[in-house]
Structure 1
Amino acid sequence: MALTYKKLSKYPHSLRRLVGIELSQLNAILTSLTPIWSKHLRNSYDRPGRYYKHDLGSMVSLLLIYYRSYTTQEFVGYLFDLDKSNVCRIIKKLEPLLATILPIPDKRILTKEEVSNLIIDVTEQPIERPKQGQEAYYSGKKKQHTVKKEIRIDQDGTIVHVSATYPGRVHDFAIFKQEPPPPSDVPIWADAGYQGIEKLHKSACTPYKSSKKHPLCAEKKTYNQVLASQRVLVEHKIRSIKVFKIIGNRYRNKRKRYDLKFNIVAGLVNLQNGLSLLKRAA
């Protein structure tokens, strides 16, 4: 028997493991998305006679299960009794609509009133070997072809900024310099990949690096420990993002919609963190 939202909602614990969010959060998404979806159907340019076999709740569940498991669309089609072409079309239709209501990180310059502290880090995801420009995407650290994104979170654990997508060869600090600069008087907590950031941002903190000839003293070791205890929050957020295997596993899709997918996942993590859905006119 095919999966449906009605069946899944009877088992909240199982639904949480399948789609990655709580039933109450899924219901909130459906409440906000229903008028937008209705408007989309009224203005749709689909050919006459086109209809959707499942209700909106089942289709959103389908998309989230695909994000959560990142199995093939053909397999997801078997679960929902759909052809893989229908699965692809549903995902393609829902993604931009879902992005309008999720608390997705903003790409504008943040003000001091909005953030009092910033914790930054770069996450790296393996991709299929590109047909062209392979060298630019090869990461010497991961020993494979990857793409990178910088994530900035505030003191409450909210993802406030996600960078553009960069090839795996680009250094973490180079990504920071190409993104909108944070407020100059807001403290930044960064890892060793951001050595030299103090020249651009006086309130930035990075760990001390040791060597065989210059080991760290006890004071510097304590400083590094305190900094790591502050930075662990962003590591937890990256882990929450990678729970959705479409970001955690090797990315197989075309990268044309990668930014959209990543932002949706970041919005889902912010929703789990207690942020409210955005209100959009139907």
Structure 2
Amino acid sequence: MGLSLEELKTLSAHFSSCYLTYRKNNRGAHQRKMGAGQKGFLPTPLDKLVFILLYLKCYPTYDLQGFLFGLERTRACRWVKLLLPVLEMTLGHECVLPARQIRSMEEFCHAFPGVRDVFIDGTERPVQKPKNTRRRNKMYSGKKRQTTRKVVMMTDETRRVGFLSLSKNGRRHDKRLLDKADIVRHIPSTVTVWADTGFQGINKQHPNTLLPKKATRKTPLSPEQKKENKLISGIRITVEHAIAGIKRLGCMTQSLRNRRPFIDDTFILLSAGLWNFHLRRD
């Protein structure tokens, strides 16, 4: 499930309190006392946490998820819808969720305390191909040659994800998503930004930026430039390790099947939060 036994026990304690808080705030006008009635197939908070973590890790169908826990597929679907926001609340209380917007230098320093280098990259996740041609063309990624959803993320030297943009269609360019997030101008000049060739022009927005040199047909790279590019790529590999850590979960690597709005954004947020929690406990 992406967590050790010790990490699972630590997260379970906070998950229990967040579950009670969430149920209390969303009970409506019910008069029955909390905890009354028949006990379900997921009686303890640990059972509920294992249920939702297994769903994110393996991303099974509701039929298989229900079979593993002795539930009907409709009941498994209801539990997933209930426990996803509880897990997000738990990770938020653990202060491991990445920032979704950074509007000032103070917010940047809060998301990246004491950082000297940040690493920027974009990542995509596959989605089912829409029947509508217009929507399919908007989601089509020429790089992956399939329909995808894309985000831009920023990490520090420890591979911790400190910023995660909102999910957009795979057709959009990485640099365009970064400009839309409007985060570069809030990065202090003392912080070095490392990016790949997909972010050409970022050095005009932030002078303390290191980008690999890009060859053209008429101006090939010299041996010194190739050596420099190799050095930059070796340091920038940190953000690739963070992306690999997020994609340990099957909900990020398998084609998205859920139809709920913004569920792909929820998946990548929870994946990044679990990765940060794993790094903090490591």
Match of 1:25 in 2: 7
Q: Among residues 164, 180, 183, which one is paired with 1:181 in the alignment?
A: 183
- Map Cα deviations across residues 157-205 of structure 1 (whole Å, 9 max, x no partner): 1100011011111001001101132414121111111111111111122
Which of 135, 138, 153 is equivalent to 1:136? 138
Residue 211 of structure 1 deviates from its aligned partner by 3.4
- The 5 A counterparts of 1:49-128 are 49=37, 51-54=39-42, 55-102=44-91, 103-109=96-102, 110-111=108-109, 113-128=113-128
Please name the residue that 1:248 is paired with: 253
Matched residue, 1:237: 242
Task: Using the TM superposition, give the Cα deviation of residue 261 of structure 1 relative to its aligned residue in structure 2, in angstroms.
Answer: 1.8
Relative distance call for 1:33 and 1:221 in structure 2 (3 A) is same
Superposition map of 1:126-205 within 5 A: 126-132=126-132, 133-182=135-184, 183-185=187-189, 186-205=191-210
Give unpaired runs (5+ residues) of structure 2: 103-107
Q: Is the 8 A contact 1:106 1:162 kept in 2?
A: yes
- The alignment status of 1:261 with 2:250, answered yes or no, reads no
The residue identity in structure 1 corresponding to 2:77 is C
Shift of 1:52: 3.1
Partner secondary structure for residue 120 of structure 1: strand
Moved over 6 A (4+): none
99-108 or 140-149, which deviates more: 99-108
Offset of residue 30 of structure 1: 0.8
Per the normalisation by structure 2, the TM-score is 0.85
Question: Across the two proteins, how many residue pairs are aligned to each other?
Answer: 258
SS at match of 1:34: helix
* Conserved 8 A contact 1:188-1:204: yes
How many angstroms apart in 2 are the aligned matches of 1:179 and 1:60? 32
Percent identity over the alignment is 29
1:201-247 per-position Cα deviation (integer Å, ceiling 9, x unaligned): 11122111123432211221121011101111111111111110100
Shift of 1:137: 0.8
CA RMSD of aligned residues (A): 2.0
Separation in 2 of the partners of 1:100 and 1:170? 30
> Whole-Å Cα distance in 2 between the matches of residues 94 and 76 of structure 1?
14
Post-superposition offset of 1:35: 1.7
| 1:184–1:202 CA contact under 8 A, matched in 2 | no
Does 2:18 correspond to 1:36? Answer: yes
C-alpha separation in 2, matches of 1:154 and 1:271: 15
